[in-house]
Chain A
Amino acid sequence: EIVLTQSPATLSLSPGERATLSCRASQSVSTYLGWFQQKPGQAPRLLIHDASNRAAGIPARFSGSGSGTDFTLTISSLEPEDFAVYYCQQRSSWPRTFGQGTKVEIK
């Protein structure tokens, strides 16, 4: 199965700052990579699909990039509601796999 490694594990930032999250795949997943946001007690929410496409209703401050094995999720200016855990997921092959998550916390 494809292993996804996210870094860093925790990102401590202030509102208004830029967040850069990384996801690396153990083998190429082309652009079949998505990003999810999860807040405590809630189900995950799809942010980005196919590496760089925002899902419906997702603000423009969220952007994704990358292909092959290296991917990035960028939040251009953190809003208070963006402090959460972020997961990448590959849909290149079964079984689907998730990264271990990056927690974006308030500094």
Chain B
Amino acid sequence: EVQLLESGGGLVQPGGSLRLSCAASGFTISTYAMTWVRQAPGKGLDWVSVIYGSGVPAYYADSVKGRFTISRDNSKNTLYLEMNSLRAEDTAVYYCARYNSGWDEDYWGQGTLVTVSS
């Protein structure tokens, strides 16, 4: 059974950093592109970043470019999102998801909440 489990969310001050993890099971992440999507409280879905199965390339939303870095550790079957220079507007539930061969998000994690506040 395919499962994705995010962790690492929490309360952080503006300007701070946080690293999110997404542990995958039931499949090998090295053979799939993976993505992060976020959702601010009461708002819609906001695509954040993608990393290809090979690890390159990676793409980012303009709103996070230069501040966030997506990466993967295939030996741990885990996806990461390193978030620096956090802003109040980064407050959201962060979901990781897997892209299938058709480039659709077919499996999602349950999400982890990041709150940026002083």
Interface residues of A (CB under 8 A from B): 1, 34, 36, 38, 43-46, 49-50, 55-56, 87, 89, 91, 94-101
Q: Are B102 and A50 closer than 8 Å at their CB atoms?
A: yes
Q: Bits for B40-81, please: 1 = Cβ < 8 Å to A, else 0.
A: 000011110010000000011110000000000000000000
Contacts of B111 in A (CB 8 A): 43
| Interchain Cβ contacts under 8 Å between A and B, 18 examples | A36-B45, A43-B110, A44-B45, A44-B105, A46-B106, A50-B102, A55-B104, A56-B106, A91-B103, A95-B47, A95-B60, A95-B62, A96-B47, A96-B50, A98-B45, A98-B46, A101-B44, A101-B45
- Give the contacting residue for B44; candidates A34, A46, A49, A100; CB below 8 A: A100
> A64 to B61, alpha carbons, bound, how many Å?
27
Give 13 new A-B contacts, CB below 8 A, not counting A95-B62, A101-B44: A1-B62, A43-B109, A44-B37, A44-B105, A46-B106, A50-B102, A56-B106, A89-B45, A95-B60, A98-B44, A98-B45, A98-B46, A99-B44
Contacts of B47 in A (CB 8 A): 89, 95-98
- Using a Cβ–Cβ cut-off of 8 Å, how many residues does chain B contribute to the interface with A? 22
Q: Number of A-B pairs whose CB atoms are under 8 Å?
A: 51
> A56 to B104, alpha carbons, bound, how many Å?
12
Q: From residue A66, how far is it (CB to closest CB) to chain B in Å?
A: 16
Q: Is B108 engaged at the interface, CB distance under 8 Å to the other chain?
A: yes
Contacts of B104 in A (CB 8 A): 34, 46, 49, 55, 91
